[in-house]
Amino acid sequence: MRRQITTHSQIDPFSEALGRIQRQLDNSPLEQVAAGLKDVIAQRRCAVEAGRGDNGQSLVLAAEIDRILDSLPTSFGERFHFDSQLINVIYKTVLPTVTDLPFPLVPRASGDWGLQTVRVFTPGKLLECSVHVFHFPGADDIAHVDLLDYAFLAHEFGHQLIRISPRSFQTDFGAELTQFINEARLRSITDRGQARQRAQEVLTSISRYWQPIDSQHDWAHELAIDVIALWLCGPAYAEAFKDYLERSKIDAHQISDGHPPYAVRVTGLTIASEVMGVSKYVSGIRALSDSWDLPAMKGDRVANYYGLTDKRIIKSVVSCAIRTCQKLGLTQCTDETLSRIREALLTGLKPAPNLDLIIAAWIQFEELGQEKYQEWERQAICALLR
């Protein structure tokens, strides 16, 4: 009998997963997720006992549960609650007409800013649904909150906003990109030999990097989302972006998957600021980019770089992104927004936990200087933790 029990626990593929669910999620704000995972395990066990399904399927499910747990927050301290409050209030104030999500948006301490969609299960119904996990740099420690850097949260929200906007950006820009490529192809029809080959290579690269895809892991989406973040946070985003560029060792012209070169992002933000009528907000990053060297490439490669980063494509992304902001009814951060927040700060009001807090942090840093700003930030965070 004893021997049988030992054997059973050794082959139970879920005992480890259940222990992990308990340790990580029980009595946490993600109890609902824990309940869904436990339900799906119970259902799989019943199926195996009834002779439906085999151990192999159970092992696949156990591995999937492991992946889900890896993606979810592992601690729920003060910072988790602060960030959680912030993202949920921002969501409701940015999109007041959107009804509540079945699961909250959750933060997790991480290496860098990011947004991850994690598929989980609805308890009882066993339907799959998504938890949106916002990654915040630093540890789950309230002392790691740096509100001046939080403008990047607006960028991560941009990913979510584009996802819920009914494919408008992807469709709009996709059509403009196709037209651009078709016209360029027609123009190169008379090219011969190497010139023809080079033109073809550039067009293939344009399609590879700029084509907007569902995962949003492409240049078009990332640039559009910078534009949305500028729309939402104005100078607070532009300055956070500049600070990041200054403290990181970047190659402004580096070609890589996912994000366009920083030089392209700065050009996009500059064009966007002009269209939005707020060009002074980006004067800092513009000045910084003026100090950058030209691309360190030679011959055909530099010609390819300029072809791939054609300003007409950047302009098209910017105008499609601004149209998306307008379609979603997002409120633009303008001088009036800054005056409203500045006046509230002068009366001693603590900003609400939404984008106003992030914009207020930028205003206070500019007006108070580093030392007094730190004290203001500490008090603003304390007020929201009570």
Binding site residues, Zn ion, CB under 5 A: 222
Exposure on the CB side of residue 378, measured as CA atoms within 13 A: 7
Cβ neighbours, 10 Å, residue 232: 27
Strand, helix or coil at 107? strand
The neighbouring-strand residues paired with 128 are: 121
Which residues lie across from 135 on neighbouring strands?
Answer: 108, 114
Smaller CB separation from Zn ion, 116 or 337: 116
SS3 assignment, position 321 = helix
Alpha helices by DSSP H, 299-354: 299-308, 311-328, 335-346
Q: Are 306 and 202 in contact (CB under 8 A)?
A: no
Smaller CB distance to Zn ion: residue 160 or 267? Answer: 160
Shortest distance, CB of residue 221 to Zn ion, whole angstroms?
7
Residue nearest to Zn ion according to CB distances in the complex: 222
Nearer Cβ to Zn ion (218/222): 222
197-208 residues labelled b (16+ CB within 10 A) or e (exposed) = ebbeebbeebee
Nearer to Zn ion, 38 or 159 (CB): 159
DSSP 384: H
Q: Which is nearer to Zn ion, 34 or 225 (CB)?
A: 225
Smallest gap from residue 9 Cβ to Zn ion (A): 44
The amino acid sitting at 176 is E
Of 219 and 365, which CB lies nearer to Zn ion in the complex structure? 219
- Residue 351 has φ and ψ, to the nearest 5°, of -65, 150
Task: Compare residues 222 and 377 and give the one whose CB is closer to Zn ion.
Answer: 222
As measured in angstroms, the least distance from the Cβ of 205 to Zn ion is 21
Smallest separation (angstroms) from Zn ion to the CB of 6? 49
CB of residue 223 vs Zn ion: minimum separation in angstroms? Answer: 10
How far is Cα 312 from Cα 383, in angstroms, rounded to an integer? 47
Positive or negative CA dihedral for 136, 141, 147, 149? negative
Q: Least Å distance between CB 159 and Zn ion?
A: 6
9 or 248: CB nearest Zn ion: 248
| Token pair for 47 | 């199926």
* Smallest distance, Zn ion to C-beta of residue 226, A: 8
Nearest distance from C-beta of residue 7 to Zn ion, angstroms: 49
How far apart CA 35 and CA 240 sit, in angstroms, is 39
